[in-house]
């Protein structure tokens, strides 16, 4: 005996009122047109190539001298946020100078950094490297206290 099996498909419809459907369609159109306008505005904007911005300063090798003081002295050479590299030129908010000159200045300014509260300059040498692709400045400093002349003002004797 073969029984006839009938399949009854119950299709469920979501009942949405007409005003709700209109509001949903308007929201979709607004979101879609906003995205489209954003893409069109980006594509039609003039391409101004400023160069590679200085994105960060990494300082290595310091033990005594705080990083903030070294970073502040390096910023005086032009290697700071807001500056950018255009080819072999460093462009700051005040002037343009060759990148190798800015690196030399940064090395000199790093060696002039003092220990807070003193006039001691323990940084004997500094090596500054600038990545022209990413804008990351890496400074390696060498602190050497044997090169410092310590003057004792109470006994008028010089010790090294």
Same domain, 39 and 72: no
Residue 81 counted as domain residue: yes
The pLDDT tens digits of the residues spanning 25-65 come to 999 999 999 999 988 887 776 655 678 889 889 999 988 89
Same domain, 27 and 95: no
Same domain, 87 and 110: yes
Residue 160 counted as domain residue: no
Same domain, 23 and 79: no
Residue 10 counted as domain residue: no
The parent domain of residue 41 ranges over: 16-47
In this prediction, residue 130 carries a pLDDT of 93
In this prediction, residue 159 carries a pLDDT of 55
In this prediction, residue 6 carries a pLDDT of 60
Residue 123 counted as domain residue: yes
Q: Are 50 and 64 in contact (CB under 8 A)?
A: no
Same domain, 63 and 142: yes
The number of folded domains in the chain is 2
Same domain, 43 and 101: no
Same domain, 67 and 34: no
Does the pTM of the predicted model rise above 0.85? no
Residue 11 counted as domain residue: no
Same domain, 62 and 96: yes
Residue 4 counted as domain residue: no
Instruction: Identify the domain boundary among 47, 64, 88.
Output: 47
């Amino acid at each position: 005996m073969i029984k006839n099996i009938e399949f009854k498909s119950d299709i469920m419809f979501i009942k949405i009122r007409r005003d709700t459907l209109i509001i949903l369609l308007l929201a979709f159109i607004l979101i879609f047109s906003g995205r489209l306008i954003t893409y069109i505005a980006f594509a039609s904007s003039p391409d101004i190539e400023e160069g590679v911005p200085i994105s960060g300063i990494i300082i290595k090798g310091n033990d005594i001298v705080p990083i903030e003081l070294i970073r502040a002295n390096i910023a005086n050479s032009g290697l700071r946020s807001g500056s950018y590299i255009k080819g072999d030129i460093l462009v700051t908010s005040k002037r343009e100078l060759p990148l190798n000159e800015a690196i030399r200045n940064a090395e000199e300014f790093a060696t002039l950094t003092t220990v807070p509260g003193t006039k001691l300059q323990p940084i004997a040498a500094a090596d500054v490297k600038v990545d022209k692709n990413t804008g990351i400045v890496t400074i390696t400093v060498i602190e050497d206290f044997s090169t410092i002349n310590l003057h004792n003002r109470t006994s008028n004797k010089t010790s090294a």
